[in-house]
């Protein structure tokens, strides 16, 4: 390696923090850490002592198995570098493998691997699948089955939580410059959301037409500081632009500058000083003119959106907006239980009719639609990140009737919950 990944002392701090959060939970067992360089080669000096469970030791004992493990590491670190976020996969041997990328500015340094477990208890079908995968690298089927049964069982949601924790811990402890990797992560997440919208709507009549109404909704979201809602609408607008003019960078850049103007006007109406925003806009425009690809242009406008919403949060003094802010906070804190318009109105110290009028005027949607969007967003995240069934997710998202939940989900997202999960897990 051209540059040291980090010292033994630094690794020990990361390992301790990680194990303090995930080692003692019954479902997880102990998840050891394996450090590699940028080419996926193990750095034994900065690995947990027991970073390879018995199953992996059996597989890696043959030269063929060891080489395939090395190729798996290389593929994983490259994917993690490219996307700027933890990469979680089922490796060639059939077990869970997670990689957290480590970069300093734009220089890839290596990765930290963990997992090496199963999502659920191995049944006959899973064991047979693993045996088929490893037929060319290991012949002792009985020994292999014994090793499979000794692997830790870690639910998918727990692996995702562990990966996010480790990602943050690595950069906090090492002090590495995470600017570039954060940019890549935002780009990857945004392109995934835009791609999801394109897949859902490209066959519809009128797909690719610029959604004028969405601009009004975006302005409303910015004015009230609704970051999640604003991001979702922005990505829908970006997807519509790409459907209409795919690959046309000039058109995309022109549309971006129009959106920048809309965001600025929304922030001013949300209480931000106009002169300050003019200076910010000059910075954004100069940067936009230097970007030469559509992915980074999309991240650029997304960053502008985040900045404007932060400004709205910090300088918000509009009386009208402050009237509905308690309602937003109440919904986001209580969406997972039965709540009524009267409940929300009491939290905002307004009558139900007055709140409905003010909310629609400021947010661009009704308060019930806003509550629905929050609940469906929660359901989408649970469908992607957990193995919970649709009934469990229905109740966790605040619904008490599964058929109503399924119907509402399809109206908002375009597909039923189960199909949404299948589409996103095939990515």
327 and 418 together in one domain: yes
Give pLDDT, residue 313: 62
- Residue at which a domain ends, from 293, 317, 341: 317
Structural domain includes residue 242:
yes
- Does position 23 have pLDDT exceeding 70, yes or no? no
188 and 285 together in one domain: yes
State the helix-helix crossing angle for 417-425 and 367-385, rounded to 10 degrees: 50
387 and 304 together in one domain: no
- Does position 202 have pLDDT exceeding 60, yes or no? no
Residue 110: give its domain's CATH number.
Answer: 3.30.450
Model confidence pLDDT, tens digit, residues 291-331: 777 777 777 787 777 777 777 766 654 444 566 888 888 99
Rounded distance between C-alpha atoms, residue 312 and residue 270, angstroms:
6
Rounded distance between C-alpha atoms, residue 228 and residue 221, angstroms:
9
Structural domain includes residue 2:
no
334 and 418 together in one domain: yes
Structural domain includes residue 128:
yes
- Does position 426 have pLDDT exceeding 50, yes or no? no
- Residue at which a domain ends, from 279, 298, 317: 317
pTM: 0.53
Here the tokens at position 288 are 């936009």
For 355-402, give the secondary structure using H, E and C.
HHHHHHHHHCCCHHHHHHHHHHHHHHHHHHHCCCCHHHHHHHCCCCCH
Residue 261: half-sphere exposure toward Cβ, Cα within 13 Å: 5
- Does position 113 have pLDDT exceeding 90, yes or no? yes
Structural domain includes residue 124:
yes
Q: What is the mean pLDDT of the chain?
A: 80
79 and 25 together in one domain: yes
115 Rama sector, left if φ>0, alpha if ψ -120 to 50, beta otherwise: left
When mean pLDDT is compared over 186-190, 225-229, 264-268, the highest value belongs to 264-268
Give pLDDT, residue 205: 47
- Does position 375 have pLDDT exceeding 90, yes or no? yes
Structural domain includes residue 340:
yes
Structural domain includes residue 268:
yes
Rounded distance between C-alpha atoms, residue 408 and residue 283, angstroms:
42
**Cα-based angle 39, 40, 44 (whole degrees, multiple of 5):** 115
Rounded distance between C-alpha atoms, residue 49 and residue 63, angstroms:
22
Name the residue among 145, 155, 186 with its Cα closest to residue 302. Answer: 186
Rounded distance between C-alpha atoms, residue 160 and residue 168, angstroms:
13
Q: Give the percent of the chain with pLDDT over 90.
A: 11
Instruction: Give the helix/strand (H/E) hosting 276.
Output: helix 274-288
pLDDT bracket for residue 1 (50, 70, 90): very low
Model confidence pLDDT, tens digit, residues 136-145: 776 678 888 8
pLDDT bracket for residue 381 (50, 70, 90): confident
Range(s) of the domain holding residue 205: 182-317
- Residue at which a domain ends, from 126, 150, 177: 177
Name the residue among 360, 350, 264 with its Cα closest to residue 311. Answer: 264
Give pLDDT, residue 51: 87
């Amino acid at each position: 390696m051209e540059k040291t990944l980090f010292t033994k002392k630094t690794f020990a701090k990361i390992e301790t923090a990680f194990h303090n959060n995930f080692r003692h939970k019954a479902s997880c067992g102990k998840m050891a850490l394996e450090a590699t360089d940028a080419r996926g080669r193990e750095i034994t000096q900065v690995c947990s002592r027991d970073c390879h469970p018995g199953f992996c030791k059996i597989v890696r004992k043959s030269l063929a198995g060891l080489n395939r493990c090395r190729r798996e590491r290389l593929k994983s670190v490259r994917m993690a570098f490219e996307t700027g976020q933890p990469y979680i996969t089922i490796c060639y041997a059939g077990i869970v493998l997670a990689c957290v990328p480590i970069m300093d500015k734009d220089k890839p340094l290596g990765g930290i691997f963990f997992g090496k477990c199963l999502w659920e208890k191995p049944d006959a079908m899973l064991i047979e699948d693993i045996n088929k995968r490893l037929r060319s690298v290991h012949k002792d089927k009985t020994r292999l089955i014994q090793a499979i049964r000794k692997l830790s069982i870690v639910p998918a949601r727990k692996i995702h939580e562990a990966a996010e924790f480790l990602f943050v811990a690595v950069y906090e402890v090492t002090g590495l410059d995470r600017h570039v990797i954060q940019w890549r992560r935002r780009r990857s997440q945004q392109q995934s959301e835009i791609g999801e919208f394109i897949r859902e709507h490209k066959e519809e009549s009128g797909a690719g037409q610029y959604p004028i109404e969405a601009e009004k909704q975006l302005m409303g979201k910015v004015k009230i500081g609704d970051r999640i809602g604003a991001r979702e609408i922005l990505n829908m607008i970006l997807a519509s632009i790409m459907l209409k003019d795919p690959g046309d960078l000039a058109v995309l850049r022109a549309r971006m500058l129009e959106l920048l103007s809309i965001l600025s006007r929304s922030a001013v109406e949300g209480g931000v000083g106009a002169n300050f925003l003019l200076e910010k806009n000059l910075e954004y425009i100069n940067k936009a003119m230097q970007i030469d690809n559509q992915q980074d242009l999309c991240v650029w406008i997304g960053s502008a959106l985040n900045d404007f919403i932060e400004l709205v949060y910090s300088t918000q003094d509009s009386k009208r907006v402050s009237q509905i802010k308690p309602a937003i906070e109440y919904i986001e804190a209580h969406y997972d239980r039965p709540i009524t318009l009267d409940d929300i109105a009491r939290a905002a110290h307004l009558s139900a009719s007055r709140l409905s009028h003010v909310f629609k005027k400021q947010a661009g949607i009704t308060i019930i639609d806003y509550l629905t969007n929050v609940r469906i967003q929660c359901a989408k995240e649970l469908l992607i990140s957990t193995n919970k069934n649709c009934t469990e997710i229905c109740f966790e998202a605040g619904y008490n009737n599964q058929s109503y939940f399924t119907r509402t989900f399809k109206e908002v997202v375009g597909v039923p919950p189960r199909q949404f999960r299948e589409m996103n897990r095939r990515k």
